Chain A
Amino acid sequence: MYKIIDAEFIAPNVRKIIIEAPKIAKKRKAGQFVIVRVNDHGERIPLTISDSNLEEGTITLIVQGIGWTTQELNSLVAGDFILDVVGPLGKASHIEKFGTAVSIGGGVGTAIAYPTAVALKQAGNYTISIIGGRSKEYVILENEMNKVCDEVFVTTDDGSYGYPGFVTTKLQELIDAKRKIDFVLAIGPIPMMKAIAEVTRKYKIKTVVSLNPIMVDGTGMCGGCRATVDDKTVFVCVDGPEFDAHKVDFATLERRNRTYREDEKDALQRHSCKSEEAILKAVNEG
């Protein structure tokens, strides 16, 4: 059992959850993830560790409530427990002094890009971050990024905050302005990562993305998270999660991630009926 120390919404449907897990807090490196199972009927889902606090023995997860499990997780409050948290899993981000490193986060992807941005800065890189959201309220971790990065650019799709447009537009602007860029990390929805890869491919800028396939055990045992990279099959949980963006077959990843889409809808619907029933019952019973 893993205790939730604190939990708060930092954007619509996006919750920052701080969990007591001293061993993982001590061991985790940027880029690594945990597998979480909320309760004994729960599924196992991978979530990248966004931050940790060694003294408090805690790790921070930033969770977007999309399916039933993430919504259930986001309904938990300080003092509640998560049944299983296992990690740190996967390989740590490859960190070196590249020169100028740009960390790009789209939506909740910023939470995953953040720890690697910190590590890139610590390794002596000039660190730029570009963080985007649909609109102002969806931009997360701007203050945190400001603390560690030399420059931070915020973009919003609807122009309600920062630069109007996508993170790709801003990256292209930097390139057009002849800024020297030696390394790009891009984390966010698949179409965004794919778009960034297309931008940097032309300029041969080394670019890394963090993949988010469906997983079960997270330790290489099931092979459910396999992806195609450089025309070869990889297991994202043990070979990744970070890969060369120019070699990833994003289309296959996107298709495989849709495997259980109907089940996810079904689960959400049934659970929302159930909670309505529970509310009605509670009301009826006074």
Chain B
Amino acid sequence: MWPRNDVHMDDGSMTPEDQEPVTDNDMEYNDNGEESSYSNGSSSSYNADKLSSSRPLQHKLDLSASPSRNNDLNPRVEHLIALFKDLSSAEQMDAFTRLLQESNMTNIRQLRAIIEPHFQRDFLSCLPVELGMKILHNLTGYDLLKVAQVSKNWKLISEIDKIWKSLGVEEFKHHPDPTDRVTGAWQGTAIAAGVTIPDHIQPCDLNVHRFLKLQKFGDIFERAADKSRYLRADKIEKNWNANPIMGSAVLRGHEDHVITCMQIHDDVLVTGSDDNTLKVWCIDKGEVMYTLVGHTGGVWTSQISQCGRYIVSGSTDRTVKVWSTVDGSLLHTLQGHTSTVRCMAMAGSILVTGSRDTTLRVWDVESGRHLATLHGHHAAVRCVQFDGTTVVSGGYDFTVKIWNAHTGRCIRTLTGHNNRVYSLLFESERSIVCSGSLDTSIRVWDFTRPEGQECVALLQGHTSLTSGMQLRGNILVSCNADSHVRVWDIHEGTCVHMLSGHRSAITSLQWFGRNMVATSSDDGTVKLWDIERGALIRDLVTLDSGGNGGCIWRLCSTSTMLACAVGSRNNTEETKVILLDFDAVYP
């Protein structure tokens, strides 16, 4: 009985380890067309086999590697090993157990270090590449960066383009191409008497940075293209969050007047002013391209069309003008409003304008035709949103109205606010409207619900009018004249964070990246917040004249650049636009 068991166990324990891994590996790697992969895999496979092989094989290898060591061999140890090899598997196990009991902890710890690798596998190096790709396919970009640092084999497999292309989050693919931003106004900086940009790079370092920036290597990558995009996106985010600010510029214009509105489309910045003009700037070149002259009253609202071909402006002269971004020429003057044009929204080439005359008008900016007039508000229309079909408007009559743009019919009137409505958000897909009012509250409406039951959340906590809001999913961020930013959950109707730090009214808000919000304020500062943690990241701009009239009227940004309109109501601060650069090149 006993001897037969011995023989069986010996066979069982030896044969699979000796034969199976080599055979399988050879078969699998032969299926691949990639030679380099094969050789790498083969080499690692051999190492793995060595780890998993039995002791006698290791012993043999040691002897062949250095036969001269025979002189140093301890005869007592050699004798012990010879005896050990004669034992059956069960007897060897018994011997091991009793030897361990006779060993001190130092030796046992060393044994653990020797034994542990036998239970581990370098999967990525040993498996065929297509299986390795399946393993890496489940990891995040951040995990892939760690994987690339583990070993040469892991770096090679983690560079496969397909793996990076299939990352779940796609935000990093949407940044515009890298920019230079070294010409025109960028040649100087925005650091000047009265303007502080904390964390701005020192001038001597800036010159080095600009020189290096111009030494481009084209679009050739030494790694997966999407990995380059991922790394650049990561760098851009760090540029916003923590790194020194590597470039800034001042655009001077609209002297001694207020910049009332500002928009960005790709590389075009448009500023409107109560000096009756708009200016069209090229951001990357840091220069003005056109000054749009024609209005006979202050410009109070403007838009750039989604296609980028049209600039539309509304004015106290009661007209709406359509301009070309190609050459700055005036294409149409849209007449019909009988008072100041106060707000507008565009979808495609269809424009909706709201006015102090209590009406909204619908226009086609390509042909300049008037399509409809929406009557119903009893006081000035202050804000409007439009998705191409449905118009949402808020007014000084305390109401929010829902309209059909084609028929001109008012579908629904949302009542509940006790004072003027100053800001609106409309999310068409969910039929959600958010309205901010001088009554200090923000209301969330779902206008598909039965009449009178549309209000789904009443958000209270602010103490003045809400000047801006942005919504993503169920998270709403609002900025208010009470100097606070609040983060709300509209599903729960609760305030998640209150962000304090500004010392007077907040004028603008911009949410970009995953959790970054920038705000501008009458106190002369621009602040960057993390709305997930509910904390200030840092100040981006500080005016010395803040608190004495210097204020920042408007803020807007792209993913790599921030623009803020600076000025004052009492001539303590020159009117200008400050630009900050947060771009990065491909690594």
* Chains A and B are bound partners: no
B interface residues with partner A (beta carbon < 8 Å): none
A interface residues with partner B (beta carbon < 8 Å): none
